[in-house]
Structure 1
Amino acid sequence: MHILFLSDNFPPEVNAPASRTFEHCRLWVLEGHRVTVITCTPNFPRGKVFEGYRNRLWQSEEMDGIRVIRVWSYITRNEGFARRILDYLSFMMMATLASLFVRRVDVIIGTSPQFFTAVAAWVTSAFKRRPWVFELRDLWPESIRAVSAMRASRLLDWLEKFELFLYRRADAIICVTRAFRENLIARGIDLAKIEVVTNGADLRRFASQPKDGALAVELGLQDQFVVGYIGTHGMAHGLETLVDAASLLAGRADGKDVSLLMLGDGAERERLIHYAGDLPNILFVPTVSKEQVVRYWSLLDATIIHLKPDPLFATVIPSKLFECMAMGIPVLHAVPGESARIVEEAEAGEILPGGDPDALADAIVRLQMDPDRRARLSANGQKGVRKFDREELGRTMLAHLCLLAERDVRR
């Protein structure tokens, strides 16, 4: 089977869509299938082309047996609604054109967060007369309202109608959370074509290991209780709460040995650095490569997962949850809903309210003072994450794709 996968994020980018797409496609190649990925020049989230690449009309490479076609797109930082729409639209058009030159395709996938990639998959499906799958990673454009980027807009209303049109036109929809499936069913989408394949972790890469002593010394984190946030510093994450908690801990006698490590890039990073000012117990580190990120995970005594307190975010499962569970890192989890239930069922951490720096600071100190509890949470996380093995989840998704291709009546 030849799978054509459209995604505007792909390695060497290190965000969740890039990692999921790459790890699934790599597995499918190992299972004997052909995979072609159409993506853009790597630039997320800084909006700067990665070293070794140029933003050309067309460039091709091979990564672990995957044919990767990179097309030109309008590149901008992950901020500003109008510029991001131009980014999305340019990739949609160029990916559609590039898809027409990929021969003998059996099934087409378009992945969100934004659905313009799914538009390209739908158009490509119409031209090639092959089934297409909408991989639903985010309820976009609803998430734009949730971060207050555009609260009320006729454009958003129109985009939501078009979103529903795409769900109805897709031959299959693969959601990353059960809450997304329930949302679609409530909006009239046929249950029979909706499947759930959650995010997970590469358990070969992410596993418990001793702290990287050399890195701890390099960062000045030796002899510290290190709490970390690793991931995108975006509008949805409400990370000023973490800075406020660090400020509270800096003024507490029982928080003097706590350091907060903030690793990642995003639209809010520079503002957060300015907001933190000269706080001595917070360290900002820019995004590192996928090969290096495990070293930074190893430094953490606890991790923080946080999103703004908005009802929409109760439907999401931050993918970093599975990585920190696999690493055996206790979770301070400030996201309600489906992801909180995973933490509770695994007994891998503590559930906190979002946007509450006092609750976060208190939880950090409690965890610091109780090494036995940390050990229990660590062991529980490593056990609980086994059901979210990325390799098994990739095989589940592959089975859905094979079934869809086999029953295609347009051949």
Structure 2
Amino acid sequence: MTILFLTDNFPPEFNAPASRTFEHCREWVKAGHKVTVITCFPNFPMGKVYEGYKNKLYSKETMDGINVIRVWTFIAPNKGAVKRSLDFLSFAFSSFIAGLFVKCDVIIATSPQFFTALSGFFLSFFKRRKWIMEVRDLWPESIQAVNAIKTSSIIRALEKLELFLYRQADRLVVVTDSFKENISSRGISPDKIVVIKNGVETSRFQPRSKNQDILRQLNLQRDFVIGYIGTHGLAHGLDFIVKTAKKITDNDIRFLFIGDGAEKNNLIRRTRELGLENFIFLDPVPKNQVPDYLSVLDVALVPLRKSSTFENVIPSKIFETAAMNKPIFLGLKGETQKIITQYHAGVCFEPEDETDFLEKLSVLRRNITTGEVDYAEGCRNLARDYDRRKLAGDMLKAIIEVAPARAN
């Protein structure tokens, strides 16, 4: 089978969408299928093209057997509605043009944002191929949750586009059970919706001793380290963590934030205003170094802003941290909370609730320090059940059901 995959995030970008797409496509190639990915030149999240790349009209490369086509886009940082919209629209147009010249049996387009899926729809129409829409977020609902767009007419237009694409897709692949419930409640047949959750590449993320070089470099040898690795965006609620940290009385608790995003400079400025000396901010690290930095953590922090919308999501970072036997300190209700509780892989606090955050942090720290509670077995079981290779195989079955291989 030949698969054409449209995505605006792909390695060397290191966010969750890029990892999911790359790891799935790589497994499909190993299974004997031909995969072509159309993407843009790597620039997420700061809107700056990575070293070694140039934003040009078209280029081709191969990554682990995957044919990668990169196309020109209007590149903008991950902030600002107008520029981001131009970014999205330009990729939709460029990916559509490039996709016309790629032979395939089936087309997959991943969202958010929906303009990539729109490109998939038009390619399906002109190439007369089935297409699958992967829904990684309920967009535009998630935009409203962070007040990124406040104009009601724009939101209504995006909602109409959303439902149109759901109806036109031959299959929907969603990443949570909640997403399936949400979409099916809006008139979309549940029979066309398949849940393929996020997961972890367990061959890469495994328990290991703390990296002593990193501990020495950051002067964390004697500290209890709470770490966050990922995008510092509006949705992640990291400003709440900074504000609440002012009330922590334990002097040996340190926060290690690794990544970039629209809110990072604001977070750094806020820690200085509050006189906080227990925060370390680092730039993003390459994907292959993430396990080393995860190894130095005592607790992996996974917060999101308080919103009913986010109760439907499952942050992919819980799987990687669990695979390394790192207890998860989760600030999120809903489906993710159920997973952490079910597997006993950490402790959950009420999102953006200072009192509950401080109380639960004290409990978690005591359990880890005294060994009173062991979270390692729960983490191992969680990672085993969400192994990326298995999930990639499940998605491949869903693809083949929709579009068996055909002669081109």
TM-score, length-scaled by structure 2: 0.97
Cα-to-partner distance string for 1:235-262 (whole Å, 9 max, x where unaligned): 111111111232222xx1xx11110001
Q: Aligned to 2:261, which of 255, 259, 266?
A: 266
Residue 325 of structure 2 is matched in structure 1 by: 328
TM-fit CA distance, 1:375? 5.9
1:313 aligns with 2:310: yes
Cα-to-partner distance string for 1:258-300 (whole Å, 9 max, x where unaligned): 1000111111111111011141101111111101111110011
1:48 aligns with 2:48: yes
TM-fit CA distance, 1:359? 2.4
Q: Distance in 1 between matches of 2:332 and 2:269?
A: 25
Q: Aligned to 1:358, which of 340, 351, 355?
A: 355
Cα 1:39–1:10 change in 2 (3 A) is same
1:4-403 residue pairs with structure 2 within 5 A?
4-103=4-103, 105-249=104-248, 252=249, 255-277=250-272, 278-370=275-367, 371-373=369-371, 376-403=374-401
Q: Distance in 1 between matches of 2:51 and 2:372?
A: 40
Cα 1:209–1:374 change in 2 (3 A) is farther
CA contact (8 A) 2:347 2:364 kept: no
TM-fit CA distance, 1:219? 1.1
CA contact (8 A) 1:181 1:194 kept: yes
- Return the letter of the residue paired with 1:261: L
- Return the letter of the residue paired with 1:404: V
Cα-to-partner distance string for 1:149-195 (whole Å, 9 max, x where unaligned): 12342011011011100000000000000100000110000111110
Task: Return structure 1 stretches of 4+ with deviation > 6 angstroms.
Answer: none
Q: Distance in 2 between matches of 1:7 and 1:321?
A: 23
Q: Distance in 2 between matches of 1:306 and 1:152?
A: 27
- Between the two proteins, what is the percent identity of the paired residues? 47
TM-fit CA distance, 1:361? 2.9
Q: Distance in 2 between matches of 1:364 and 1:341?
A: 19
CA contact (8 A) 1:246 1:282 kept: no
Q: What is the RMSD computed on CA atoms of the aligned residues?
A: 1.4
TM-fit CA distance, 1:75? 0.6
TM-fit CA distance, 1:378? 2.2
CA contact (8 A) 1:332 1:352 kept: yes
TM-fit CA distance, 1:397? 0.2
Q: Distance in 2 between matches of 1:87 and 1:384?
A: 36
Q: Distance in 1 between matches of 2:69 and 2:405?
A: 28
- Is the partner of 1:27 in helix, strand or coil? helix
- Is the partner of 1:265 in helix, strand or coil? coil
Q: Distance in 2 between matches of 1:48 and 1:357?
A: 36
TM-fit CA distance, 1:360? 2.1
Deviates more, 1:379-388 or 1:119-128: 379-388
How many residues in Structure 1 have an aligned counterpart in Structure 2? 405
TM-fit CA distance, 1:373? 4.7
Q: Distance in 1 between matches of 2:139 and 2:32?
A: 33
Question: Structure 2 stretches of 5 or more lacking a match?
Answer: none
